[in-house]
């Protein structure tokens, strides 16, 4: 898994390379969403959100998937959004801990969340004491992160109903909390969702590489 969320500067490479005009990078539903709304770039907010080493926000699930497909083409690797289970395993490690850094709360010194009082995104990796066991930064707080997985409300029958296929116009899972969230919301187990076309200043994404 990509150790850090995708930054403003990294995402701009996709935009500068004509990613919004490359139909082959988009799912069918994503291309329809882009063309219907005449989307030509990510949604921008206040100046601080455009800082090059801050996480790229204002990107829908459709755009995040298109970025993955573009990067796969450029690197000749299979780059995808992490599934919900992959995301949680990376965050919790093999011990199933409560937070990426362990079971103690101590959130204010370990991640950008509501009680930290920053109230906007921060430089990716600013809170190294909050890194996950695998070394991934910002898996709690800073921004919510899109997962590949279709949203299912609870785990009853999850193994039979879960869908990680990137096709379709389904609600998708968000993980990790954001700079607005309380301690309960930055736990590794906390889940949320949005429709795939939603763009917010609190939503970003990171990547995973699939083995051949």
pLDDT tens digits, 112-123: 999 999 999 999
- Give the model's pLDDT for residue 139: 97
Mean pLDDT of the chain, nearest integer: 93
Is residue 210 predicted with pLDDT exceeding 60?
yes
Is residue 2 predicted with pLDDT exceeding 80?
no
Is residue 33 predicted with pLDDT exceeding 90?
yes
Q: Tell me which fold the domain 8-210 belongs to.
A: 3.90.1580
Mean pLDDT of 7-23: 98
User: What are the boundaries of each domain within the chain?
Assistant: 8-210
Displacement of CA 94 from its chain's centroid (Å): 21
- Give the model's pLDDT for residue 157: 64
- Give the model's pLDDT for residue 158: 65
Window from 30-34, 59-63, 148-152 with minimum mean pLDDT: 148-152
- Give the model's pLDDT for residue 43: 98
For residue 46, CA distances in Å to 8, 10, 34, 35, 138 come to 13, 19, 23, 25, 21
**Whole-model pTM?**
0.94
Mean pLDDT of 159-187: 88
């Amino acid at each position: 898994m990509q150790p850090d969320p995708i930054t403003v500067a990294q995402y701009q490479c996709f935009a500068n390379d004509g990613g919004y005009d490359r139909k082959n990078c988009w799912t069918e539903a994503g291309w329809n969403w882009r063309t219907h709304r005449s989307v030509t770039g990510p949604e921008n907010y206040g100046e601080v959100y455009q800082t090059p080493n801050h996480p790229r926000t204002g990107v829908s699930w459709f755009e995040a998937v298109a970025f993955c497909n573009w990067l796969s083409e450029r690197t000749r690797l299979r780059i995808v959004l992490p599934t919900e289970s992959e995301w949680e395993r990376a965050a919790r490690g093999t011990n199933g801990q409560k937070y990426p850094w362990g079971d103690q709360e101590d959130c204010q010194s370990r991640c950008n969340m509501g009680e930290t009082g920053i109230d906007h995104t921060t430089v990716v990796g600013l809170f190294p004491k909050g890194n996950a066991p695998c070394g991934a930064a910002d898996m709690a707080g800073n921004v919510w992160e899109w997962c590949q997985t279709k949203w299912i409300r609870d785990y009853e029958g999850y193994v039979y109903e879960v869908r990680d296929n990137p096709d379709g116009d389904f609600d998708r899972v968000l993980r990790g909390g954001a700079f607005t969230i309380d301690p309960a919301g930055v736990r590794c187990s906390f889940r949320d969702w949005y429709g795939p076309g939603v763009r917010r200043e609190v939503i970003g994404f990171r990547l995973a590489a699939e083995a051949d």
